[in-house]
Structure 1
Amino acid sequence: MVIPTYDEAGNVAWIIERLRAAQPQVDVLVVDDGSPDGTGAIADGIAAVDDQVHVLHRTAKGGLGAAYLAGFAWALDRGYDVIGEMDADGSHQPEQLQRLLTGLLDSDLVIGSRWVPGGSVVNWPWEREVLSRGGNLYVRTLLGISVRDATAGYRLFRRSTLEKIRLDEVRSTGYVFQTDLVARTLRAGLTVREVPIEFVERVRGESKMSGQVALESLKRITQWGLRERWEQARGRRRAASAERELQPR
C-alpha cells in the first residue's frame, strides 16, 4: 500500500500499525514529501525494525498525484502485482482492506466507495457531503462514466492496469489525479469495481482538502470532459463523412 504523507507525524505510526495488524502480508510504502514535522523520520524508524515497511523521501511537497506516481513507480520497479492507495489520516480504515482485496478478484481497479449502497461517511458536515456527491455527479455526467465515487482515494490496482494506462503521460498532480486514473482505466477497456466502505473523517491533524482545491479539480475535469466530447463529436462527423463516401452515387 502506498501512503503519501505531509505533516502526518501524529498519524503515520498509528495507521501503519493498524494496516500491518489488519493485513500482515501487505507491504507498506510511505511517500513523504519532506514533511517539516518529522513524519519522514518517524516512518524511517518504523522501517528500521519492520522489513515490510519502506519509505520514499521526496524533497518538496509536489501534490498528491505526484506522490502516488512516485510510489507506483517504486512498486512497479520491485515487481509488485497489486499496488494500492490509502490516506495516512485513518479515513481509509485498514480493517476494511479485505473488501477491496476481494473486489480485485474480478476487476482491474477496485475503489472503496462512499457513495454506493452500503457505503457511508462519519463526522462529515452536510456541506462537505453535498460537495462530494455533487462533484461525483458532475464527473459522471461530464465524462460519461458510471463510477459513483471517482474522487475516492482508497484503491487497489493490478500491476497490469497501471502498465496499460500510460502513467508516463499523467500530468495531474493534485486531487484530480484520482478521477484522471479512473477515466484512463475505463478508456483502456478495463474493469472498475466499487465496494462500500465507511469513510471516517480525520480526528488528528489538518485536512489537505479545501474549497479552492475542490474548485481547481472541477475546473480540470471540465476541461477534460469538454475536450473528450469535442473529440467524440469529431469522430462521429468523420464516420458519417466516410459512410457518405461509400454510398453509391
Structure 2
Amino acid sequence: MTDSLVIIPTYNEIENIEAIVKAVFELQKEFDVLVVDDNSPDGTSEEVKKLQNQFPNKLFLEVRKEKAGLGTAYIHGFKWAIAKGYDYIYEMDADFSHRPDDLPRLYRACLNGADVAIGSRYKRGVNVVNWPLYRILLSYGASFYVKFITGMRIHDPTAGFVCYKRKVLEDIDLDSIKFIGYAFQIEMKFRAYLKKYKIEEVSIIFRDREKGKSKMSSSIVREGIFGVFKMKIWSLFRKHKF
C-alpha cells in the first residue's frame, strides 16, 4: 500500500476520468486514487468501475446519492482516507487543469517539512492558461481579498490542488466545515493556518479544462465573497470551536 491517496471528485466527467486516472498511475511515485462521484448521469462511475478491473487495490470509488457540493465530496474522501491510514492526502480536479506530473512535487514539499502543500497558480506571477481575462481577474482579485481579510500570506488561497498531511485533517473538525463550494478551499487553508500548520506553495501551471463543462456558478462565487468575511468573524469570536 502506498502512503498517498489522490481524491478526485466527479460529476459528469466521463470525457476525462479514464485519462486522468491512467496519468496518475503512470507516475514513477506510486499513488492510489479515490473517485468520489455524485451519481453522475453521464456514467462516470460506471467507467471507473471498468477501470478498477485494470487497477485492483489502487483505484477506489465512492458513489454518493446526489450532487451535494465539492466541499462535502472532499470531506467524504478525507474521512475515507484517514480510516484507511494514508499519510498524504491530495485534492485534484478530474479535468487536467491540475497536472498529475505535479503530484510528486507536492509530495516532496510535505516530505521536506510542509504540513499543507498548495499547487499555486500565483506564487510566481499568473500561471494560468486558456482562461478568459475576467476569470483571471476574478480569481487573482479573490486572492488579494482573502489575504486582506484573513491575514494569511498565501498567494493562491482558493487553489484546489493541495496535499494535506493526515495529521492536519485529523486535527481539523471536518464535520464543522461550513462551506461546500468556492469558499471550501479557503476555509480548509484558514483552519490549518489558525492551527499553526506549515503551509507551503509550489508553483504550477494551471490549464483550463478542454473537455466537459465547468462547475463554476454565481452562487459559488457569492459563497466565496461573503464566506471569507464570515470565516474571519467566526475565528475571532469562536476560537475554541473554529
Alignment match, 2:72: 66
Q: CA deviation at 1:118?
A: 6.5
Mapped to 2, the partners of 1:118 and 1:17 lie a distance apart of 31
Mapped to 2, the partners of 1:59 and 1:228 lie a distance apart of 33
Q: Secondary structure at the match of 1:215?
A: helix
TM-score, with normalisation over the residues of structure 2? 0.92
Alignment match, 2:110: 104
Q: CA deviation at 1:47?
A: 1.2
Comparing 118-127 and 66-75, the one that deviates more: 118-127
Q: Give structure 1 regions of 4+ aligned residues with deviation exceeding 3 angstroms.
A: 226-232
1:41-60 to 2 correspondence within 5 Å?
41-51=46-56, 52-60=58-66
Q: Secondary structure at the match of 2:134?
A: helix
Mapped to 2, the partners of 1:34 and 1:81 lie a distance apart of 28
Alignment match, 1:129: 136
AA paired with 1:132?
S
Contact 1:119–1:196 (Cα < 8 Å) also in 2: no
Q: Secondary structure at the match of 2:105?
A: helix
Is 2:188 the counterpart of 1:181?
yes
Contact 1:118–1:196 (Cα < 8 Å) also in 2: no
Alignment match, 1:85: 91
Q: Secondary structure at the match of 2:76?
A: helix
Distance 1:156 1:64, change over 3 A: same
Mapped to 2, the partners of 1:24 and 1:108 lie a distance apart of 19
Extract unaligned runs of 5+ from structure 1: 233-249
Mapped to 2, the partners of 1:71 and 1:101 lie a distance apart of 18
Which one of 227, 236, 240 corresponds to residue 220 of structure 1?
227
Distance 1:171 1:227, change over 3 A: closer
Is 2:15 the counterpart of 1:13?
no
Contact 2:120–2:155 (Cα < 8 Å) also in 1: yes
Q: CA deviation at 1:216?
A: 2.1
Contact 2:88–2:107 (Cα < 8 Å) also in 1: no
Extract unaligned runs of 5+ from structure 2: 1-5
Alignment match, 2:199: 192
Q: Secondary structure at the match of 2:26?
A: helix
Comparing 95-104 and 134-143, the one that deviates more: 95-104
Distance 1:47 1:181, change over 3 A: same
AA paired with 1:32?
D
AA paired with 2:195?
A
Q: Give deviations 1:78-99, integer Å, cap 9, x for gaps.
A: 1111111000011000012121
Aligned residues: 232
AA paired with 2:102?
Q
Q: CA deviation at 1:225?
A: 2.3
Alignment match, 1:142: 149
Q: Give deviations 1:142-169, integer Å, cap 9, x for gaps.
A: 0111011111010111011111122122
Bigger helix share: 1
Alignment match, 1:31: 36
Mapped to 1, the partners of 2:18 and 2:172 lie a distance apart of 32
Over the residues paired in the alignment, what is the CA RMSD in angstroms? 1.5
Mapped to 1, the partners of 2:238 and 2:103 lie a distance apart of 38
Contact 2:96–2:209 (Cα < 8 Å) also in 1: yes
TM-score, with normalisation over the residues of structure 1? 0.89
